[in-house]
Amino acid sequence: MASEDGELLTIARRYCELVESLEEGHRTPLVQLNEVLPRLHAAMTAVRPCTDDGPLDADADLDQRFELYSRLHRLLGDLDGYWMEYDVTPDRQEMSGSLADDLTDIYCELKNGLARLERGSDARPTLGRWRTGFCRHWGQHVVDAERHLYELAARDRLY
């Protein structure tokens, strides 16, 4: 395994640990996620695309995903919602972006891949599936979460 791949796995594990460690009243993991997400983004852009055409989310557990989202949504409270650049509503009441949703989608993709690797799977297909999923879906969640966490940090709301 290339050193870049090992670095990506380290970043993926760290990301999952941080999401799992989020607790009410403790914002330190958010500060650390603000530092980890750009590293994850950069590491994912270096991964070669997948040649395996298998389903990207075959390991998805929708109940688990919803439980994590609900927990994160509750813990984040008023830090969760954010405006997307295309949000143009006359009453300005509905924010369509959700940090809880972003963190959940990223977490589930990474956690499923890490679980496959723990079962002894070859790393290349897992990394390739991550790359394909990143390009098709969860990469946008990375960008949106990075942007929102940056804005929160700039307004001293992460500390």
- The Cα-based distances of 158 to 78, 99, 101, 134 in angstroms read 12, 13, 18, 26
- The Cα-based distances of 70 to 99, 100, 114 in angstroms read 11, 8, 22
Residues 23-80: tens digit of each pLDDT: 877 878 999 999 999 999 999 998 877 665 555 455 568 999 999 999 999 999 999 9
Token pair 């509905």: residue = 94
Residues 90-124: tens digit of each pLDDT: 555 555 789 999 999 999 999 999 999 999 878 88
Rounded to an integer, the average pLDDT of 128-144 is 94
What are the helix and strand counts (H, E) for the chain? Answer: 6, 2
State residue 98 phi and psi, 5-degree precision: -140, 115
The DSSP bridge pattern shows strands 81-82 and 97-98 to be antiparallel
Q: Using 50, 70 and 90 to split pLDDT, how confident is the model at 149?
A: very high
Under CATH, which number does the domain 3-85+93-154 receive? 1.20.120.1550
State the pLDDT at residue 3. Answer: 72
pTM of the model: 0.87
